Amino acid sequence: MLGDIALKQVAKRLLDYCREGVQAFRYGGEEFALLLPKRRLNSAKRTAETLRAAIDRMVIKDRRRGQTLDHITVSMGVAEYDEHARESGADLIYRADQQLYKAKNLGRNRVMPIN
């Protein structure tokens, strides 16, 4: 199935960015999470935008079925850990998830950082 191939290729692209402490995780059926330790919000937003654009340029082919998929869209929510609030990991994920849904509601294929 082309959708499964696309998920695997997106995961591979995310893993390609995993250096200098960056970690990628599959988080739900079609969702991924990236942890960018010691990065400020603006740096994380730039990384997310770079990844979004790289994924959008991907072309995926299923040679068995002769199908091609291009312009893969991704929506991303970006949040920065609040050291002063000593928030939990669950709180950080919740805030990023809220931004993800804002991105989806605004038309998808965009990065939404918390301002």
Work out the mean pLDDT of the chain and round it to a whole number.
90
Is-contact 78 96, C-beta < 8 A? yes
Is-contact 81 69, C-beta < 8 A? no
Percent of the chain with pLDDT over 70: 99
Token reading at 26 = 């599959």
Token reading at 111 = 């990065």
Give the residue numbers annotated as catalytic, written as ranges.
30
- Positive or negative torsion for Cα 107, 40, 34, 28: negative
Q: What is the pTM of this model?
A: 0.86
pLDDT confidence bin for 115, thresholds 50/70/90 = low
Half-sphere exposure of 104 (CA within 13 A, CB side): 8
Continuous segment of H or E residues that includes residue 62: strand 59-62
Whether the pLDDT of residue 99 is over 70: the answer is yes
Domain annotation for the chain: domains and CATH numbers: 2-113 (3.30.70.270)
Alpha-carbon span 82 to 2, nearest angstrom: 39
For residue 114, the model assigns a pLDDT of 75
Tokens 């850990």 found at:
81
What tens digit of pLDDT does each residue of 14-60 get?
999 888 899 999 888 889 999 999 899 999 999 999 999 999 999 99
pLDDT confidence bin for 5, thresholds 50/70/90 = confident
